Structure 1
Amino acid sequence: MLDVAHEALVNLLQPGTMLYLCLGVAIGTVLGILPALGGLAGMSMLLPFIFGMDPTEGLALLVGMFAITATSDTFPSVLLGVPGSSASQATVLDGYPLARQGRGAEALAAGLFSSMLGGIFGALVMFFAIFSARPIILAFGSPELFLLTLLGLSMVALLSKGSMRLGLMAGAIGLLLGSIGGAPTHPVYRFSFDQIYLFDGIPLAVLAIGMFAIPELIDLLVEKRSVAGMNKIEGSVFRGMRSTVRNPGLVARSSAIGAFIGILPGLGGSIGHWLAYGVAAQTSKNRRNFGKGDVRGVIASESANNATEGGALIPTLMFGIPGSGSMAILLGGFTLMGLQAGPSMVTTDLSVSVSIAWMLAIANILACGVCLILARQIARITVLPAELFTPFLFVMLFVASYQASRQWGDIIALIAFGLVGWVMKQIGVPRPPLLIGFVLSEPAERYLWTSMGTYGYSWLWHPMVIAIAAVIVLLLWFGLRVSRRAEETEAIVEAGVDGVDGGRPGAVVSPPDRDEDRGRDTRS
């Protein structure tokens, strides 16, 4: 095993291969900074250029690009309140409030550093899984995958701020929106109203941008302020890195969740980072600042979303089963370069598989270094007056939404969801549960019907199904108990602390430094 790892590293360190890896990192960094773009769009653009390339060099370009978008997408999520990709939606919940408090550089540094650690963790998981993961992956069938989607849906209740009833209602609406279009297992269309645009369902990018980006930009323009609402940046890059180092357990747990979810085909980063965020929020004693500007929320989300890439490569390489949309395009790249995903990737092409693990680790280190150097400079965007950059952002968001399916229906849907998201924000209805319900609607339905068609009702007694169901029940019980206790404590604290605006929906409360220091995961 060590001999193969050494051989793969030597091949990767060749000047030509490293040049392509750095080029991929540069492209991925730019794509990640631009809202709503990411690895899927970038890999699609690179495919025509890798035809006939040497496999190691072509993979260095592809892997360097898609591995880094999960790092650089921290910038729009933190600075603009716009998810840089579907795998950075939870980062917005705490990253953007931190930016509004003038701590954008701190949030960026924490997110970038934890994202790098998560990427390295995912690369290690992939390296060891190449030799041992086959029995584990084959143990998860459609019933187990269905229960894992239910585990993700349970986060709807756990992540609801203020009112669990409103959160469950928003999650139910998300499930309903996710069911629009063709059924995953039956040749029928639901809620399409004979509109061709709705036959394929509502694009995730349109919904996410409309629900999260548009309301924030509207508020910036209406209030005529900057993102940070002040003229200086108080956070420091060093402080953000220190926050990550002080929470090693949080980084390790979130990375493990992300890598595990990434291994399971069809789930991926859009679910893994929500699970990691929910677990972090529910297992922390001092959890009242989650969603208001807690750096631990950024660390949990970013650790998980980058670790997912290493996990997603495992079923892609070993079985030819893409763990995400980016992995599906990577399979196409394999074909263009004369590679065949499957058993050959752990036999005759074993060195290529190990090289990919090295590429993940090295690319994450390179990207983190570059982004950390630029973090404080880019964070200055948050102190610019909103009217200077919001028109450009509106144009960019409309163009990005139009790219979802290249139909005018994307623009109409974006405006509609933008208005709905703004109204939800004003009246205090949580928006993340709606997004979670939307993302998990299709896989939950597909795995349920596949389980029923294959096993009948007998799948309910599978040992792994029972174990996951028990975890869901325990999480919900623990979440309800902690939520009630936290609400009582918060009411007492807010009654005795002047200047804390706890009644207005979306209020940003700057957590004291001592809260952050006490928030070490090892003591949570």
Structure 2
Amino acid sequence: MAIVEGLTQAIDIITSGQTPLWILLGVLLGIFFGALPGIGATLGMAIVLPLTLPLGGADAIILLISIYSGAMYGGSIPAILVNVPGTAGDAATTFEGYPLARKGRAIDALTVSALSSAIGGVLAVIALIAISPVMVELVLLFGSPQYFLMAILGLSMITVITQGSTVKGITAGAFGLLLATVGVAPSVPIQRYTFDRLALYDGLNYVAILIGLFAIAEMISLSEEEQVAQSETGLEGSVFSGIRKTITYWVTLLKSAFLGLVIGAVPGSGASISNFIAYGEAMRSSKTPEKFGNGTEEGIVATDSANNGTVAGSLIPTLSFGIPGSGSTAVLLGGLIMHGLRPGPDLFTSQIGITYSVFLALLFGNLIILFVGLIVVPRTGYLTQVDTDLIIPVIVVLSSLGALALRNNWVDVWTIIVLGMVGYFMKKYNYSIIAFVLGAILGPIAEENLYRSLSISGGSFSIFLTDPLSLVLVVLTIVILAGPYLKTKIAEIRAGTT
């Protein structure tokens, strides 16, 4: 009855006054912010947050969550067209989206992205409404040991998604972990690799790392060419072809949307983790894993349905406990408090209408994403033929401004420059940038929660094996790590018996 009552109140809220306009405006702003490298959902929401003061609490939160959802899709547009993820949650989209665009099939890639984002988001919201009471109980089971094991599970994906030399993949991942240690150690007042520079005390920003590895490195590569897309391939494909391909991988879509929902519900995870895990799982379970890395629609379906599914999942800890599930929901939490809405039981009892209006706003926002994505696709596809003399300066300037805007710290600008050159040579000599990014993003999460866990247990590692959830995460990690070895052995056994 609580769900029915909440939905009834929510429908009244989102269909009254100017609320539909705020949903539309929020999604469009989100797509715009997401498409700008270095801006993304978090910074876009932070810019708009003070402007929501004249709005009512429900309208303000609906506007912010619509920006969040729109940015998740918007970030895939530059990821596909110019190999520049607009947000951290779209980094894995570059692995398949950009190669597909390079083949002259940008329209297909953008269509798959829009449809996967919309369907993944809608499915996640429907599931969220149905299981929100159960999800609250599940999130309560996670403590520091489980957060640490979740990060390790993500790092283990290096063995799955690394193409070519496994040694090079591990080396790249270790380098990413090393960069993540710059700054003051978590929970311990020890400086590491700061060289007595105050600007390095907070470490290197992982968004700046992403901008450098993807945006600047790719612009260096493109400077050797005359246009973004290969001139001999041209633009092929169509919206209908993209729709057909998306439907073909419906199992991957459903699975990835659910993964995004579950991972998003774990505080501190977010789309920057879920899209990599969904990508790795899609590769692992694919009937044609050899196509990954060369431009397969299945990879785009996995990453884009996962990151929009994460938006819905991240609302669980934010609305239930006031624990932000991502950087963007941290801004959303600030909006809730600013408008007098206290996260906790009230949002699921006396104010349940507002909570479900946010869920429904996400639902309708994803339908807007689908409409906008399919209408804009035939036009944005031609951006891949823009001359590099135009596209490179624009991307470099936007990336630099975005990096500086992150923390107003000159270190972030130097980060994108240095790692841009590093990324260029990594790509040239076949070192896995995917593994590097996993190490840089998951390293701080793993380290911080390792410190907390060992502090709780008095230094005993048995804390990671004392409950069923931890054991499940440990077993999953072992299976993933042993997977390539077991797969090789099974192939050898089969070859020997034939």
TM-score range, shorter chain: over 0.9
Deviation string for 1:212-238 (max 9, x for gaps)?
A: 122221222212233243463102111
Q: Does 1:172 align with 2:174?
A: yes
Asked whether 1:470 is paired with 2:479, we answer no
Match of 1:56 among 55, 58, 64: 58
User: What is residue 314 of structure 1 aligned with on the other side?
Assistant: 316
Quick one: percent identity of the two aligned structures?
A: 34
Deviations 1:28-57 (A, max 9, x none): 121122222211011111111112521221
More deviation, 67-76/132-141: 132-141
How much has 1:269 moved relative to structure 2?
0.8
1:19-38 equivalences under 5 Å are: 19-38=21-40
AA paired with 1:459? I
Contact 1:71 1:368 survives alignment (8 Å) = no
Partner of residue 363 from structure 1, selected from 340, 362, 365: 365
Residue segments in structure 2 that go unaligned for 5+ positions in a row: 493-498
Q: Which of 432, 435, 460 matches 2:434?
A: 432
Residue 354 of structure 1 aligns to which amino acid in structure 2? Answer: Y
**TM-score normalised by L of structure 2:** 0.94
- Native 8 Å contact 1:98 1:107 kept in 2: yes
Q: Confirm whether residue 336 of structure 1 aligns to residue 341 of structure 2.
A: no
What residue identity is the alignment partner of 1:468? L
What SS class does the counterpart of residue 425 from structure 1 fall into?
helix
Secondary structure of the structure 2 residue equivalent to 1:288 = helix
Give me the whole-angstrom Cα distance separating, in 2, the residues matched to 1:215 and 1:483: 34
TM-score, normalising length: structure 1: 0.90
The alignment's C-alpha RMSD in Å is 1.7
Distance 1:422 1:481 in 2: 34
CA contact (8 A) 1:122 1:307 kept: yes
Q: Equivalent residue for 1:79?
A: 81
Question: SS of the counterpart of 2:308?
Answer: helix
Q: Secondary structure at the match of 1:322?
A: coil
Structure 1 residues 17 and 483: CA distance shift in structure 2, 3 A: farther
Question: Which segment drifts farther, 223-232 or 418-427?
Answer: 223-232
1:75–1:84: 8 Å Cα contact kept in structure 2? Answer: yes
Match of 2:375 among 373, 376, 397: 373
- Among 158, 161, 164, the residue aligned to 2:163: 161
Gaps of 5+ in 1: 488-524
**CA distance, structure 2, for counterparts of residue 152 and residue 337 of structure 1:** 36
1:410 corresponds to which residue? Answer: 412
Letter of the 1:351 counterpart: G
What secondary structure sits across from 1:35 in the alignment?
coil
Deviates more, 1:170-179 or 1:126-135: 126-135
Q: Which moved more, 1:384-393 or 1:354-363?
A: 384-393
> Which residue of the partner structure matches residue 508 of structure 1?
none
1:228-272, CA deviations, whole angstroms, 9 ceiling, x for partnerless residues? 434631021111111111111100111111111100001111001
- Quick check: 124-133 or 98-107, which moved more? 124-133
Amino acid at match of 2:332: L
Q: In 2 relative to 1, CA 142–53 (structure 1 residues): closer, same or farther, beyond 3 Å?
A: same
Superposed CA offset, 1:342-377 (max 9, x none)? 111111111111111101110111122112101110
Whether the 8 Å CA contact 2:83–2:218 is kept in 1: the answer is yes
Q: Is the 8 A contact 1:263 1:313 kept in 2?
A: yes
Matches of 2:13 and 2:405, distance apart in 1: 37
* Distance in 1 separating the partners of 2:203 and 2:491: 38
Equivalent residue letter for 2:427: K
Task: Go from structure 1 to structure 2 and tell me whether the alpha carbon gap of 1:319 and 1:232 turns closer, same or farther (over 3 Å shift).
Answer: same
Inter-partner Cα distance in structure 2 for 1:209 and 1:451: 32
From 40, 46, 49, the equivalent of 2:48 is 46
Q: How does 1:83-162 map to 2 (within 5 A)?
A: 83-162=85-164
Q: Secondary structure at the match of 1:149?
A: helix
Q: Match of 1:194?
A: 196
